[in-house]
Structure 1
Amino acid sequence: MTHSLPSSYNMLTMKKIDSIKQYMPAALWKRAKAQPAPAPHHTAAPPPIPSGRSWWLTALDVFLVLAVLAGAAWFVSLATAPDPRITVHLCADGVTSEHFVYPSDVRTFLSVRGVVLDSGDTLSCALTDTLTDGMEIAVTRAFPVAVKSQNGVALLHTTGGTVGDALRAVDVEYDVNDELSHLSFADLEPGMQIVHTDVITEYDTAYKTLEYKEEVVKDDTVYNDTKPVLLQEGQDGTKQVTYRLVYKNGVRVSREVVDQVVITPATPEIKKVGTKIHYQTHLSGEFRIYKDPPVAGKNGWVEMTMDYITAYTADTRTSTGVRPKLGTIAVNTYYIPYGTEIYVKGYGYGKAQDTGAFRNYKRADGTPVNQLDLFMNTEKECRRWGRKRNVTVLVKLG
């Protein structure tokens, strides 16, 4: 005996099938539909729905069936859907790491991983950029560089560049004349100390006097004690001198002459001088250099009139024990003591170093004769001198 299901039941079954089809993926539904239907078998007919069953119980059955089917579909979709996470590569502090993350922005990504950006650090992308699959994020850390100039020491943090970049970053201007501890195009390194010396070169012009020189024209026919004759008067000249001044950090370190131009040449002074030796006399063996005669009344020199002045020559020691030579004069010590300087015209300067028999001679009035006897080297010169009377000489008694 068979029992037919009510039409309402069949309609409910069809709705369940449509619901299952709605929540199942199309590929899975086609696969399920393609499977052959199971062989028919006789089952016991479900008991008839009691005519008095409440409608809400039927609705509950339908809801449960639908919930089971929806859960199954959800799990199937999870199993077949692609992984929403993406791969991001992070390079920071010398370490490169790979991360599987859900899409967000770079700022959030770094914050979650505790990556803090210090002043001067740079990123290979912007913090607001959205993460993409395979994205590479590089963090470049800034390092300290010190720049010393005449304005002081400036410390900056940078991720790289050149020495010139560092100088510009701290507002230090430089040119080809300045001195740098490193080449301007050298790459910056952590802890580098850059020293900049401001060098200024200036030029200054001054005028200097060219002092005239003295030139001497020698004349061997003129005595050397003769007053020089001025042949040409000297006159100073002028020259222009250019100096190069070098300042380092405002302090002058050098001053050197780089150019000299003569504006007016100096005119030399020319004098003629005698080179002939001027002796006191022309006597043989003369060695005494000429000196001007003394002046009576000055420096102790006084005039004295001699009764006689004679000349002698000898090869024996004098009364004072010295060998006679030109300038040795025998005196009467009654008037002139030994060692006294005497000047006799025609004989020159001499000194009282001897005496003679004349010291015993007397005048008509009985007073001693005041006589000088001059030493000469030859008898011929002595005879030529002869015997002179009443000659006034100069004696230095003071």
Structure 2
Amino acid sequence: MELVHKLLPASKKKLVISSIGVLALVLFSVFVLVEAMKAEVVFTDNGEIQTISTHTNTVGDLLQEVGIAVGAHDFLSHDEADLIEDGMEITYKTAKQITVSIDGEEQAYYTTADTIEDFLIEQDLAFKERDEISHQPTEVTEDGLHIEVVKAYQVTINDGGNEKEVWTTGGTVNDLLKEADVDYEKGSDDRITPALDEKVTKGKTIDIVRVAIDEEEVTETIAFDIEERQDSSLLKGEEKVISEGEEGAVTKRFKVTKENGKEVSRELISEDVTEERVNRVVAVGTKEEVQESNLVTLANETTNQGGKTITVTASAFTSECGGCSGVTATGINLSANPNMKVIAVDPNVIPLGTKVWVEGYGEAIAGDTGGNIKGNRIDVHVPSKSAAYSWGVKTVQVKVLD
């Protein structure tokens, strides 16, 4: 430069300096103009905000300038063909792949949602509170996230005959009963099927049979026997009660098993006689009656207004007697008709079906027979044992009415 100064005259030196200054001014002006022509864009890349000054014409050119290739599932706030404008705000999000497994069936999704809750809403995936989801709704989404969902299903619990439907996502029978607040005691007599350690499956019914085992005490009567004693002072066929019988009592203890409140078995554990029975003692006549004829069926027979009257020995019976069926030889149900007037006869003397009148008893029908009813002997039916005792054994007149 010093050489230039020496070689050039002073006037020319001034000209060179002025030219350099003008050139610098022009270059600066061009630079300022170029810079002024740049557009300023606010660009958000996956949450990171930056301001970019650019000469690019379109959004696609800008993305290419910053090295971003937009994927098919990525989010871009503008079309790539949109023109760049000063002050434009552009947002870009890279899509994340999320796999959702519902009851074992997997499906891949792409999303730009920030949280799992937003992702589920975006994909219209709705689940119930009772469904089991591996992640919380507030968790942030990540690329490669795997969400597992087990949908709840209904299971029927039949608890001692009372059914209810409960929701579950699986587990064992034991787990389900705890979730459903069903009380049971391990080691009890209750029966639970399927077993407590078996897996619960959809549509399954769990049956609980409530078993109760108790002891029950019952007091029963013991019927007395009739003891016969021969008495020569009584005519043959006559009887006389010497002493009334008394029923005894026995206390029985049973083991009673009930299932769901209903008795299914009863086992006798013990029995104790708490009151001894006393037999009824009856004197039975053995004295022979002097008769002019051996035809007892015609003895003492007289005619009376077209019928016949017979003298007989009459005792009493009731349908409540031990071993009695309550139904007569002619089919009359005395258990159902305790006040019906019926007598037991020897059909060779009084035919069955005959209407009669019995002294001290009234009108009756000859409707039954008996092992001890032979010849001129009858049994009158009375409604109770006490009435039979009161009747005793007596001699009466019987008139045949038809």
TM-score, with structure 1 as normaliser: 0.43
> Which structure has the larger Rg?
1
* Greater strand fraction, Structure 1 or Structure 2: 2
